[in-house]
A = this chain, B = another copy of it.
Amino acid sequence: MTQKLPPLPIYFANEKSSRQSQATVDIRDRGLAYGDGIFETMFVYQGKFPFWEYHQRRLQKGLAFLGMTFDKALFEQHCESIFEYLKNNPHTCIVKLIVTRGESARGYAPTSTTANFFTSINAFSQDAILNQTGCSVHLCKEVLAEPVSWAGLKTLNQLSYVLASKERIETDFDEGLVCSSKGHIIEATARNIFCVKNGQLITPDLSGVGVAGVMRDVIIERIAAELSIELKLCSLTPEQLLEADEIFICNSVTGIWPVTKVTGFGADIHQRPVGAITRKIQTMAQSLIEA
């Protein structure tokens, strides 16, 4: 029996637990002014967060790194409102949580502000075609300068990804790959990248730049171990990528996309079938989501 659920999006701001169809932020919020904040984009399956602990861990790392003054009780109240809503309305949806350093007077220096929490619950339309058939990726011209002190975190400073995504939509591929200023493959615009070579799983080390995604962490910490696949975190050169037996990209919202076509590295088009290890990882990821 399918329950009829109310339309999305809806919004929550700080302690306001009531459902709102609109939400606003003070113009003095430092998230807007300087990108002084972090965010999490979380997949919700039938009202439940499959990877809540992973998102919370990265969020806490971000808050600690930025040194934000943070009202723990207020945050718990904010989260409680969202859990309560999803318990009563078990959407399969996308929850986006933004935490900013709060409002302040003009000036980069953070003064005595307290973090603000903004959450939107967004509709999710299931379209698993790329999970099945695989996707095409192209190397973007936009480069991620490194090292940044917030490497691995998901801050509100995402202009590189906006510009890379702009390249992607102006052409005709499913995702864009981005390199670091040192010439290593770091990730896709909204996904992390893995490749398989001789049975070994390889993913870029993100200690210099990049967003360490939750699905990446799930694969590194759970799936690779459970499937007994050897895993290596290292710099990934374009040559290594092109020589890989299998390639896939992933995030926690759309899951795992096998990569079947790679372009942008010279004139050649590099094609490969969907790999067997990719399929195994995909199956296990799906089972964790539906657990």
Residue numbers in B under 8 Å from A30 (CB-CB): 162
Residues A158 and B35 in contact, CB atoms below 8 Å apart = yes
Residues B209 and A162 in contact, CB atoms below 8 Å apart = no
Residue from B105, B147, B162, B190 within 8 A of A110 (CB atoms): B162
Residues B22 and A24 in contact, CB atoms below 8 Å apart = no
Residue from B31, B122, B168 within 8 A of A32 (CB atoms): B31
A27 nearest CB neighbor, chain B only: B23
Say yes or no: is A233 at the interface (Cβ < 8 Å to chain B): no
Q: Mark A2-46, 1 if CB is under 8 A from B, else 0.
A: 000000000101000000001111111111111110010100000
Residues A28 and B120 in contact, CB atoms below 8 Å apart = yes
A188 to chain B, nearest CB (A): 11
> Which A64-120 residues have a C-beta within 8 angstroms of B?
66-67, 94, 96, 98, 100-101, 105-110, 118, 120
Residue from B107, B120, B149 within 8 A of A27 (CB atoms): B120
Measured in the bound complex, the distance between the Cα atoms of B33 and A155 in whole Å is: 9
Residue from B28, B39, B107, B157 within 8 A of A190 (CB atoms): B107
Residues B157 and A35 in contact, CB atoms below 8 Å apart = yes
Say yes or no: is A148 at the interface (Cβ < 8 Å to chain B): yes
A229 to chain B, nearest CB (A): 30
Residue numbers in B under 8 Å from A159 (CB-CB): 34-36, 150, 155-157
Q: Tell me the A residues contacting B by CB distance below 8 Å.
A: 11, 13, 22-36, 39, 41, 66-67, 94, 96, 98, 100-101, 105-110, 118, 120, 122, 142-143, 145-150, 155-166, 168-169, 181, 189-190, 209
